[in-house]
Structure 1
Amino acid sequence: MTLVNGLPAHVLFVHFVVVLVPLSALALVVSAVWPKAARRLGLILPVLAFVTLVTVPLTSHAGEWLERHVDSGPLVRRHAELGDGLLPWALGLFLLATAVWWTARRTPAPQGGTDVARGGAVVRVAAAVLSLVVAVGAVVDVYRIGDSGAKAAWHDAFSKTATGHGD
């Protein structure tokens, strides 16, 4: 899909990515740190991360089409290069969300100081740390991509002084 109602699809799809990546990242971290939240979210967690994963290549594909239809200066090329790096982060969000969901739906580990309980705690801490790293990486990447896209779209596209119209 390249145009939606006469507009480049990329400028519309990007809004899904800008909302879904941070939302998936937040849901993942909360679920990884707080197993009760993961159980309450249930299947929503991996489904949300999957929808996020699907929107990234759709948005990238629409962006590649748009790149071929605009002046491809250094700002546009930088934005395209940064955009190519988001898919691994989205895949990481999906894989971790699926793992956290799968783990949370299992029967809770035995209570107390048993080796099984300690092993489960170690796995939960590792999953929480990894989830935090991937979530932060994904959100920072979305910010960097969005910032570069805004600069590419708006660079020299407006006057820094008021034109006097509409005051």
Structure 2
Amino acid sequence: MTTVAGLPAHILLVHAVVVLVPLTALLLVVESLWPAARRRLAWPVAALAVLTLVSVPLATEAGEWLEHRIASTPLLRTHAELGDTMLPWAAGLAVVAVLVAALQQWSRRAERRAAEAGAAAGPERRRRGRLPAAALALVAVVVAAGSVVTVYRVGDSGARAAWTGQFSATPLPRGGAPVTTGLPEHP
């Protein structure tokens, strides 16, 4: 992907990642820790996690295209290296979200089978269902935290690469020389 409306596509696509990763992480933690939310959100969160996963390589590929068209700096190289660390975290979000949805589906089927057999779900059966849910919740919290920290680090390094030395800490006088960004002017 190259440009959108005259701007490098990376500049626009990163916003999807910056919004989707924390949103997916938050919803994944909520549904993992709160069974009532899991019953309603399991498959929508799994779908959102897959969308999040797809957005990361799109932003990365657009970033690589842009990287070959701007001056290489240490800040840019740091950003590119950190950007490559986002995909495993997004994949982790997707895998855990799909596992949570599958566990929810399995639990529903087990409840239906017990109801059809006329048996109440006894304490032993409930305990067996809680252990995988608790383990998955722990993994969800770790993956969510790691993904949010990583998206923050990548975004911070990108902002530093784009803006360091490109603005004045004090306002310029009226009619002062404009700060150049190196991007072509958009009519």
Give me the TM-score of the superposition, normalised by structure 2.
Answer: 0.84
- Cα distance, 1:42 vs structure 2: 4.0
Partner of 2:159: 150
- Cα distance, 1:65 vs structure 2: 0.6
Partner of 2:59: 59
Instruction: Calculate percent identity across the aligned residue pairs.
Output: 53
Q: Which amino acid aligns with 1:54?
A: V
Taking the aligned partners of 1:83 and 1:36, their CA distance within structure 2 comes to 35
Q: In the alignment, does 2:35 pair up with 1:35?
A: yes
- Cα distance, 1:112 vs structure 2: 4.3
- Cα distance, 1:36 vs structure 2: 1.6
Larger Rg computed on CA atoms: 2
- Cα distance, 1:43 vs structure 2: 2.2
Q: CA RMSD in A?
A: 1.4
Taking the aligned partners of 1:55 and 1:69, their CA distance within structure 2 comes to 22
Q: Which amino acid aligns with 1:20?
A: L
What stretches of structure 1 of length at least 5 have no aligned partner?
Answer: none
Taking the aligned partners of 2:134 and 2:121, their CA distance within structure 1 comes to 16
- Cα distance, 1:117 vs structure 2: 2.2
Q: Which amino acid aligns with 1:21?
A: V
Taking the aligned partners of 1:59 and 1:112, their CA distance within structure 2 comes to 49
Partner of 2:183: none
CA contact (8 A) 2:42 2:100 kept: no
Taking the aligned partners of 1:38 and 1:59, their CA distance within structure 2 comes to 29
Taking the aligned partners of 2:121 and 2:144, their CA distance within structure 1 comes to 29
Partner of 2:134: 125
SS in 2 for 1:158: coil
Matches within 5 A, 1:73-88: 73-88=73-88
Partner of 1:5: 5
Give me the TM-score of the superposition, normalised by structure 1.
Answer: 0.94
What stretches of structure 2 of length at least 5 have no aligned partner?
Answer: 112-119, 176-187
Deviating above 3 A after TM superposition, structure 1's stretches of 4 or more consecutive aligned residues are 108-112
Q: Which amino acid aligns with 1:133?
A: V
Deviations along 1:56-106, one digit per CA (max 9) or x if unpaired, are 000000000111111110000000000000000000000000010111123
Q: Which amino acid aligns with 1:113?
A: P
Number of equivalent positions? 165
Deviations along 1:123-158, one digit per CA (max 9) or x if unpaired, are 111101100000000000000000000000001001
